[in-house]
Amino acid sequence: MKQFTRKLAAYIALTKPRVIELLLITTVPVMFLAQRGLPNPWLILATLFGGALSAGSANSFNMIIDTDIDKIMNRTQKRPLVTGELTKLNAWIFATSIGLFSVLWLGFMVNWLSAVLALSAELFYIFIYTLLLKRRTPQNIVWGGAAGSMPVLIGFSAVTNTVTLSGIILFVIIFLWTPPHYWPLSIKYKADYEAAGVPMLPVVSDSLKVSQQILIYSYAMVQATLWLIPVAPMGWIYSATAFIGGAWFIYEAHRLNTLAKKDAISNPMRLFHFSITYLTVLFIAVGLDPLLFFPIS
């Protein structure tokens, strides 16, 4: 029983559950917005289940491909393929199985547009980000963010079986959020990425340039959050959250930039952790707004 529990934990770790959790946080509120109220609870569960399997498959393939550098980096040395808890064959069979099942599940239980979007996100993450970009360009995380932005389109299409301008704006918000979210983490683990030969921006540029790029993406992201207000349209709950949260995010980005000018960044993870809170609160507002202003008939 103990061995079974250990193996199960290893397979769960292979999917990067914390990453999946963040992806699903953005999916459900978008479904509320697309419905302009409360979607069918079964549809929510079916979409979350299929989306979690798809993301878990992509993350598992990512670990298979990156086992060599995971052995080098301190923060990834306890991953199941590094410790030997799972073999690459185990992981490959698991990743392929849940990936194929997720497409069929979403296709038959939700709709085929959502299935195609999920498959596209998975293939993009595996082949474009992990295999092509991650070890070749400091813009890796920028374009890799496209895969992490797909759950909002999946959630939107699950309800409407289409993708509208509102869904595209939500996609853009997460796409622009990803660099200022991830680069502070890369600053903290710069030595790890450098040792592994991964050219994250903090590895190839000084902290001042990185903080300037974070500022640019932060301003662009906040602007994108405001686009949603007239397009969706959104009420005061989302609008207030977007304005106040956006101002706070820009303040934190400026704070990091000020410290970078003094070469005094001691805690880059402050912005990393705040960015998670910011996105969570913003998308809670996305879900709450239609419930108040577009009640169920």
- Mean per-residue pLDDT pooled into runs of 10, the chain (297 residues): 86 91 89 95 97 96 96 92 95 97 98 98 96 94 92 97 96 97 95 94 96 98 97 95 98 97 93 97 96 60
Map tokens 């190839």 to a residue: 204
Distance CA 109, CA 158 (A): 10
Query: How much is the pTM?
Result: 0.94
Cβ–Cβ contacts within 10 Å for residue 33, how many? Answer: 28
Burial class (CB in 10 A: 0-12, 13-18, 19+), 1: exposed
Distance CA 37, CA 289 (A): 9
DSSP string, 163-215: --HHHHHHHHHHHHHHHHHHHHHHHHTHHHHHHHT---HHHHS-HHHHHHHHH
Distance CA 170, CA 71 (A): 36
Q: Report the pLDDT value the prediction gives residue 20, as an integer from 0 to 100.
A: 83
7-293 sits in which CATH class? mainly alpha
Domain residue limits, the chain: 7-293
Residue 176, both tokens: 């622009």
Distance CA 32, CA 30 (A): 5
Q: Report the pLDDT value the prediction gives residue 202, as an integer from 0 to 100.
A: 95
Distance CA 243, CA 235 (A): 12
CA-wise closest residue to 222 among 248, 256, 200: 248
Give percent helix, percent strand, percent coil of the chain, each to the nearest 5.
Answer: 80, 0, 20
Please give the angle made by the CA atoms of 270, 247 and 295, to the nearest 5 degrees: 110
DSSP string, 41-63: HHHHHHHHHHHHHHHHHHHHHHH
Alpha helix (H) residue ranges in 197-268: 201-204, 207-231, 236-261
For residue 143, give the H/E element and its range.
Answer: helix 140-160
Cβ–Cβ contacts within 10 Å for residue 39, how many? Answer: 19
Q: Report the pLDDT value the prediction gives residue 294, as an integer from 0 to 100.
A: 56
